[in-house]
Amino acid sequence: MSEIKTKQHDADVYEFIKGFSNNDQKIKDSHELIRIMEEITGSPPKMWGPTMIGFGSYHYKSKRSKQEGDWPLLGFSPRKAAISLYVFTGLKEHEYLLEDLGKFKRGKVCIYVKKLSDINMDALKELMSVTLLFMINEYGKSPD
């Protein structure tokens, strides 16, 4: 079984944003996401792997393989092309949460946005809250 490479570590989140973000808007949006995700999760921002900022954590065990590990409850990465938001379960019953979100692209469980001004912030907060509740009910929450 391979070991998951994305793990929480103690690097400075704000130094990462300053050095990794490619423009002032992405830095501003990253600070706003930190404020919102910290408020919703009640957990401080932590670096996960080289480029992800996560909030809270849970321990999962895959039902299809022997993979298991820890993962943030919510998170994001201010990548060059778009901000990757790890705030969606990918479940069909949660697709209604995307209807009023605004301008985004979607992966299986990831939302990609160019800038937060393209997004309905109330819809994003609801999406995060529903996802957080689902993740805690499904997996529990690891102590911070």
Whole-model pTM over 0.85: yes
**What angle (nearest 5°) sits at the alpha carbon of residue 108, between those of residues 107 and 113?**
30
**What angle (nearest 5°) sits at the alpha carbon of residue 43, between those of residues 89 and 68?**
50
Report the pLDDT value the prediction gives residue 144, as an integer from 0 to 100. Answer: 67
Is residue 15's pLDDT more than 70?
A: yes
Report the pLDDT value the prediction gives residue 3, as an integer from 0 to 100. Answer: 66
Report the pLDDT value the prediction gives residue 100, as an integer from 0 to 100. Answer: 96
Residues 44 and 144 sit within 8 Å (Cβ to Cβ): yes
Residues 25 and 33 sit within 8 Å (Cβ to Cβ): no
**Mind listing the pLDDT tens digit for each residue in 94-123?**
999 999 999 999 988 899 999 999 999 999
**Mind listing the pLDDT tens digit for each residue in 32-77?**
999 999 999 999 999 999 999 999 999 988 778 778 889 999 999 9
The class (CATH top level) of 8-136 is alpha beta
Distance CA 124, CA 118 (A): 11
Report the pLDDT value the prediction gives residue 68, as an integer from 0 to 100. Answer: 85
Residues 133 and 105 sit within 8 Å (Cβ to Cβ): no
Which structure tokens are listed for 102?
A: 């605004």
Report the pLDDT value the prediction gives residue 104, as an integer from 0 to 100. Answer: 97
Distance CA 93, CA 122 (A): 19
Domain ranges of the chain: 8-136
Which structure tokens are listed for 138?
A: 């499904």
